[in-house]
Amino acid sequence: MTSMSDTQNSSSHGKLIAAVVAAALVVVLALISAFVWPGWALNKNGQAGQAGQTSQQASTSNGTDGDKTEPAKPSIDAVALPDGASELLKAMPDSVLNYARTKADASTTWSSTSPVEEYALTYSTGKKGQDVTLEVGQWNDGDKAKSQYDTLAEAMTGKELGSGNVKVSGKTTGAYSAKADPDDDTKAVAVWRNDTVVFYATGAKNDIQRFYQQFPL
């Protein structure tokens, strides 16, 4: 009985060792085939790396400057108005959003239509290419101002960006129109009338769209 038990134990140990050796050989062969067989493991890693890079590039390309929120306050100081400024000129705001007034001079651009007074103003963020030029004129009655507004609006032939009525305390006091520059789609112009005063703003499209909608007059 003892001899038979020893024989069985020896046989069991032999089978266990053989099984372990066989399993080890399978693992070794799998590793060899992965890296030696025509590039399987290398190709898989390469594809994964390429996919990760493509995903990162797509994410980067989708993040544009247009996603950034524009500031609501200017980073530069407004230029003071000249001494003896008229009530109309004093009514011009120091800033509109992040556009500060950097220039305010008398103008004669619309002199042929006999405005009572007229000014050329510049509002800027302080950055190159972000200036808004604003022409402002006042007439002695609303009909003359409306005639000037109509002339300016009819001359605007670009793609419409916005239009409607100007209202003060619920009462319609004029109209507005904004259009892209027909010769340069990156630029735009906006004109609006508030009773006897006409405003005409030109600049980059993004700046004009922000500026005229927030102008307080």
CATH number of the domain to which 161 belongs: 3.40.1000
Q: Which residues does the chain have with pLDDT short of 70?
A: 1-68
* pLDDT tens column, 38-62: 332 333 233 333 333 322 233 322 3
- What per-residue confidence (pLDDT) applies to 69? 85
- If 0-12 CB within 10 Å is exposed, 13-18 middle and 19+ buried, where does residue 79 land? middle
- What per-residue confidence (pLDDT) applies to 23? 52
- What per-residue confidence (pLDDT) applies to 191? 98
Q: 81 in a domain, yes or no?
A: no
Same domain for 50 and 94, yes or no, is no
For the chain, the average pLDDT equals 79
How far, in Å, are 23, 40, 60, 142 from residue 48 at the CA level?
29, 12, 19, 70
Same domain for 107 and 36, yes or no, is no
Q: 29 in a domain, yes or no?
A: yes
Same domain for 132 and 31, yes or no, is no
Same domain for 95 and 42, yes or no, is no
Same domain for 143 and 207, yes or no, is yes
Same domain for 195 and 119, yes or no, is yes
Q: 74 in a domain, yes or no?
A: no
Same domain for 140 and 189, yes or no, is yes
Same domain for 103 and 206, yes or no, is yes
The tokens for 153 are 């609006």
Number of domains in the chain: 2
Same domain for 114 and 49, yes or no, is no
Q: 76 in a domain, yes or no?
A: no
- What per-residue confidence (pLDDT) applies to 70? 87
Same domain for 11 and 43, yes or no, is yes
Residue 142 belongs to domain spanning:
87-214
